């Protein structure tokens, strides 16, 4: 450490009593900060990783290259030629790539982003992290199947537990004789080193370590309490001062090479590396042009094709002195290489590189603290959440030191993250970047999407022998409570028969949870509450509406029976008699019961059936998931729902199950959103149970998740509305649909047979794209306020504050109940052409209590 530079760990060392000992150059490699994470209070902040601290791209890439060359020398040419590199998300994805560059080996990195259509090869836990579950999603399942050395790369080794979890998981699948651990810093205790050595000896494998520096962190016994007090004393990061005018924003078309992976999420080979190397000069030229310093001049300011977007002083024709290339979470390697190529093209010492992150860290604008400034912004790659989790960009804003200001920021994201949430709103990342730099350039890479694997099925109609349940990865062991809560059953909870369904819920029937729809909508949209913390007042249908429901049931029951049979036969063929049904309470529960009834009717098979809670933005009930894992083989559990809208719950389910043994595939009767593989139809038809609430769902409320009611070992909660028993049609609904089973058996055989041989079952998420288009056309800032399909539109009219309904021109009786509900609430129904759904419900996008009248009906006024 040079005398002229203040160590960026001094502030934490002095105030929290954290000590760092080891290699002489260790303080040059890491500083210290405090995490907002009760699992581990301190954060070692690398100065050469390119995550939290902007650094020269040559330094970041060079650190990994040097480690890769050292690994190559350790292995020798023959073994190095068979090596595979595995890097850890999110911080070590670029480091893993860079090590692979030095080793000239293929690279894969773990990921926390589930990819529709790609089944995980495995997974493991990073137990101290803010987000613990890792997935492995190689495009080729043979990627890790060789017997050559496996090189595991992380930015730091603190205990070695993550590495141990990884080796245990992968060695059980693909045993090999040699593992190499690579890290920038090795800070394990002697006990941790012995533990890993003993583990290697137990497996009978060679385990080597290559690190840039080693040492140890000395922590006081009360470090968590000290950190909590310091964080409280410092307080929240200051708001950005308002800019005189937002900086110009340029969207640059990079022309990324076709089918070239944007990183190692699905694997990156030496051939991919060669293609990227060849393309980098051209790609850097595009960026230089956008910055005003290339041969082509400036592209101007706008997100469009040349018009300026906002004010601010332009840099047309000028070469910025300080440029930051900012990557996006796991997308680190491609931005790093782009930054390096841009630095080579522009010359001088102009370019720095860092990336955004999920990790919440305290910011202190002090030279002796590693995280000087923090931009906090809503997640923009997960737009289905009602309350998006925050993401962060550190040391990008200049803080109190104007010399730290960047003249230009080049933000590099993939197309999954190129959403409205990236650019719209005061807290959006692009909005904030335009306040702290003089020019912002947005470069969007196509997220590499490998072709989904084909899952062969046995011929229909009747398998002579049912297959064993599919063997999915078993990467994580759920911690088991001493005793699980007991499932609830009717008639004590719900009006269903006790054998129809076991509710993995906590009975909150005696707790007052209902609030008027308008109050709930205001609280949800203005950030004061989550929708699962209260319940809407149960809608009591008018006689006119009840008659519409019965008409809809008579018209749709046969069609619904065909869909039920098709789903049931598909699940039985693909899962066998180990099948366990887990319906998503509550709309999925009648469907789960009907699927169970079909299996009993057609095959004499009584499948176990549970109802579990899933909450958007909060995930699947973890206690319910542990219960299922403890009582059944996870590979046999199938999650069931009624229909898809845009696919928000499908994504929520996949995210909740990431890194577990459960298959994230959802089975539904109707999939108009085209986001699942197992469905009865992809038509948007009326499932009559969508017309009502608890009175068609066993008199059970929607589920509740509130911290003062649901403890860590409790299931999510719900209420049983016994007072509504006189209007209960739950059993009659089931009996009406099941009454068609015998008549549709041949039709089901044909439909299920077609589905089994259909090559086009792969989700294409067309519904999500349509919702984004509708949101843009109607000026709605969040896709969460666009609810597509008959079922979702009905829910909007029953539970939310509706703004308007879009109906496909010529839609018939399927929409009679929607038109009636809209009339009762004073909501306009607008007929439109080219609507991919039968109808779409729009929630009021700027709701306040003034958006409705005293009667609760919509007020005609400004949209």
pLDDT in tens, 264-284: 999 999 999 999 999 999 999
β-pair type (829-832, 150-157): unpaired
**Range among 227-231, 238-242, 349-353, 536-540 with highest mean pLDDT value:** 349-353
For 576-631, how does the pLDDT look when each residue is reduced to its tens digit (9 = 90+)? 888 999 999 988 999 999 999 999 999 988 899 999 999 887 889 999 999 998 88
pLDDT of residue 518: 54
Structure tokens at 226: 């000290």
Residue 453 has pLDDT above 70, yes or no: no
Instruction: Judge residue 311's burial from the number of C-beta atoms within 10 Å of its C-beta, 0-12 exposed, 13-18 middle, 19 or more buried.
Output: middle
Please state, for a pLDDT cut of 90, what percent of the chain lies above it.
Answer: 52
Average pLDDT rounded to a whole number, residues 353-380 = 94
- Report the pLDDT value the prediction gives residue 516, as an integer from 0 to 100: 63
Give which of 816, 808, 812 is closest to 672, Cα–Cα.
Answer: 808
| pLDDT of 9 strictly over 50 | yes
Cβ–Cβ under 8 Å, residues 68 and 98:
yes
pLDDT tens figures, 690-718 = 878 899 999 999 999 988 899 988 999 99
Residue 466 CA to residue 487 CA, distance in Å, equals 29
Give residue 123's pLDDT band: very low, low, confident or very high (50, 70, 90).
Answer: low
- Where residue 309 falls among pLDDT bands split at 50, 70, 90? very low
Pick the more confident residue, 5 or 73: 73
Q: Which pLDDT belongs to residue 854?
A: 24
Among 361, 44, 78, CA closest to 188: 44
Q: What is the per-residue pLDDT across 560-572, written as a single tens digit (0 to 9) for each?
A: 999 999 999 999 9
Task: Find, among 277, 406, 416, 419, the residue nearest to 353 by Cα.
Answer: 406
Which residues lie closer than 8 Å to 505 by C-beta, 6 or more apart? 488, 493, 585, 611, 613, 700, 703, 715, 716, 717, 718
pLDDT exceeds cutoff 90 at 371: yes
Q: For residues 788 and 646, is the Cβ–Cβ distance under 8 A?
A: yes
pLDDT at 535 over 80: yes
Using the predicted structure, report yes or no on whether residue 855 has a pLDDT greater than 70.
no
**Residue 468: what pLDDT?**
32
The pLDDT assigned to 658 comes to 84
Residue 517 has pLDDT above 60, yes or no: no
pLDDT the model gives residue 382: 62
**Residue 531: band (very low, low, confident or very high) from pLDDT cuts 50, 70, 90:** low
Query: In this model, does residue 472 exceed pLDDT 60?
Result: no
- Residues 389-410 have a mean pLDDT of 93
Closest CA to 637 of 624, 623, 648, 650: 624
**Which run of H or E residues covers position 572?**
helix 543-575
pTM of the model: 0.55
The pLDDT of 425-436, averaged and rounded, is: 93
**Percent above pLDDT 70 for the chain:** 85
- What is the pLDDT at residue 221? 86
Assess contact for 369 and 231: CB atoms under 8 A.
Answer: no
pLDDT bin (cut points 50, 70, 90) of residue 210 is very high
pLDDT of residue 306: 32
For 38-47, 81-90, 238-247, 419-428, which range has the lowest pLDDT when averaged over its residues? 238-247
Comparing 287 with 40, which gets the higher pLDDT?
A: 287
Mean pLDDT of 639-651: 90
Section 158-174 average pLDDT: 87
Q: Does the pLDDT of residue 126 top 90, yes or no?
A: no
Task: Using pLDDT thresholds of 50, 70 and 90, give the confidence band for residue 548.
Answer: confident
Residue 407: per-residue pLDDT: 95
pLDDT at position 345 over 80: yes
Q: In what order do the strands lie in the sheet with 580-584?
A: 502-503, 609-612, 580-584, 637-643, 666-670, 678-681
Structure tokens at 85: 């590199």
Check whether 37 has a pLDDT greater than 90.
no
Q: How far is 9 from 27, CA to CA, in rounded Å?
A: 8
> What's the pLDDT at 857?
35
pLDDT at 481 over 50: no
pLDDT-wise least confident of 422-426, 470-474, 775-779: 470-474
Among candidate residues 602, 557, 577, 606, the one with its CA nearest the CA of residue 746: 602
pLDDT at 858: 35
User: Does residue 404 register a pLDDT over 90?
Assistant: yes
State the pLDDT confidence band at 339, using cuts at 50, 70 and 90. very high
- Identity of the highest mean pLDDT range in 238-242, 391-395, 464-468: 391-395
Which residue reads 């997308």 in tokens?
Answer: 331
pLDDT of 860 > 60? The answer is: no
């Amino acid at each position: 450490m040079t005398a002229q530079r203040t160590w960026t760990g001094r502030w934490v060392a002095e105030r929290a009593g954290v000590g760092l000992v080891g290699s002489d150059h260790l303080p040059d490699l890491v500083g210290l900060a405090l995490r907002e994470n009760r699992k581990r209070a301190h954060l070692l902040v690398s100065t050469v990783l390119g995550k939290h601290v902007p650094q020269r791209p040559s330094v970041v890439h060079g650190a990994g290259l040097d480690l890769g060359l050292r690994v190559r020398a350790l292995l020798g040419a023959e073994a190095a030629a068979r090596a595979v590199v595995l890097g850890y998300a999110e911080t070590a994805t670029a480091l893993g790539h860079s090590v692979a560059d030095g080793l000239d080996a293929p690279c894969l990195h773990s990921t926390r982003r589930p990819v529709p259509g790609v089944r995980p090869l495995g997974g493991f836990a990073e137990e101290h992290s803010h987000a613990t579950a890792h997935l492995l999603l190689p495009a080729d399942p043979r990627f890790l199947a060789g017997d050559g050395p496996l090189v595991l790369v992380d930015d730091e080794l603190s205990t070695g537990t993550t590495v141990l979890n990884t080796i245990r998981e992968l060695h059980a699948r693909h045993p090999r004789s040699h593992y190499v651990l690579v890290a920038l810093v090795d800070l394990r205790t002697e006990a941790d080193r012995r533990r890993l050595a003993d583990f290697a000896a137990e497996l009978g494998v060679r385990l080597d370590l290559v690190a840039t520096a080693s040492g140890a962190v000395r922590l006081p016994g009360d470090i968590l309490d000290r950190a909590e007090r310091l964080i409280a004393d410092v307080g929240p990061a200051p708001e950005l001062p308002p800019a005189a005018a937002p900086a110009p924003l340029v969207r640059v078309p990079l022309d990324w090479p076709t089918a070239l992976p944007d990183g190692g999420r699905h694997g990156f080979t030496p051939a991919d590396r060669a293609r990227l190397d060849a393309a980098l000069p051209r790609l850097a030229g595009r960026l230089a042009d956008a910055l005003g310093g290339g041969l082509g001049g400036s592209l101007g300011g706008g997100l469009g094709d040349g018009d300026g977007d906002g004010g601010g002083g332009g840099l047309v024709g000028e070469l910025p002195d300080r440029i930051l290339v900012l990557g996006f979470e796991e997308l680190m390697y491609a931005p790093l290489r782009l930054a390096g190529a841009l630095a080579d093209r522009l010359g001088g010492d102009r370019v720095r590189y860092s990336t955004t992150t999920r990790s919440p860290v305290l910011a202190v604008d002090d030279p002796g603290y590693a995280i000087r400034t923090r931009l906090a912004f809503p997640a923009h790659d997960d737009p289905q959440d009602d309350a998006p989790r925050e993401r962060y960009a550190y040391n990008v804003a200049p803080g109190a030191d104007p010399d730290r200001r960047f003249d230009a920021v080049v933000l590099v994201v993939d197309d999954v993250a190129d959403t409205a949430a990236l650019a719209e709103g005061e807290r959006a990342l692009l909005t904030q970047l335009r306040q702290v730099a003089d020019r912002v350039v947005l470069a969007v890479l196509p997220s590499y999407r490998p072709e989904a694997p084909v899952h062969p099925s046995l011929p229909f109609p009747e398998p002579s022998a049912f297959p064993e349940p599919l063997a999915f990865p078993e990467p994580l062991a759920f911690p088991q409570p001493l005793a699980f809560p007991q499932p609830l059953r009717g008639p004590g909870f719900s009006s269903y028969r006790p054998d129809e369904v076991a509710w993995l819920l906590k009975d909150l029937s005696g707790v007052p949870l209902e609030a008027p729809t308008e109050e709930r909508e205001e609280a949800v949209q203005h950030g004061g509450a989550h929708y699962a913390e209260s319940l809407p007042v149960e809608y009591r249908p008018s006689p006119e509406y009840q008659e519409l429901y019965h008409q809809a049931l008579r018209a749709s029951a046969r069609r619904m029976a065909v869909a039920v049979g098709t789903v049931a036969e598909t699940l039985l063929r693909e899962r066998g008699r180990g099948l366990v049904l887990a319906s998503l309470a509550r709309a999925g529960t009648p469907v789960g019961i009907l699927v169970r009834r079909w299996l009993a009717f057609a095959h004499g098979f009584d499948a176990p059936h549970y109802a579990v809670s899933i909450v958007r933005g909060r995930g699947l009930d973890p206690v319910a998931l542990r219960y299922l894992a403890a009582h059944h083989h996870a590979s046999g559990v199938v999650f069931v729902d009624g229909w898809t809208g845009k696919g928000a719950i499908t994504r929520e389910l996949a995210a909740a199950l990431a890194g577990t043994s459960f298959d994230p595939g959802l089975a539904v009767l109707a999939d108009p959103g085209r986001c699942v593989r197992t469905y009865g139809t992809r038509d948007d038809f009326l499932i009559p149970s969508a017309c009502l609430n608890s009175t068609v769902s066993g008199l059970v409320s929607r589920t509740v998740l509130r911290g003062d009611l649901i403890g860590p070992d409790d299931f999510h909660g719900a209420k049983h509305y016994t007072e509504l028993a006189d209007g209960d049609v739950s059993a009659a609904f089931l009996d009406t649909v099941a009454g068609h089973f015998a008549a549709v058996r041949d039709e089901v055989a044909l439909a299920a047979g077609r589905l089994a041989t259909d090559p086009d079952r792969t989700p294409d998420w067309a519904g999500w794209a349509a919702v984004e288009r509708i949101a843009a056309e109607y000026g709605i800032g969040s896709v969460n306020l666009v609810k597509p399909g008959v079922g979702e539109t009905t829910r909007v009219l029953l539970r939310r504050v509706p703004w308007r309904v879009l109906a496909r021109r010529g839609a018939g009786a399927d929409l009679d109940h929607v038109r009636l509900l809209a009339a009762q609430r004073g909501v306009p129904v607008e007929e439109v052409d080219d609507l991919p759904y039968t109808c779409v419900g729009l929630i009021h996008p700027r709701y306040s209590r003034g958006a409705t009248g005293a009667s609760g009906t919509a007020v005609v006024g400004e949209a």
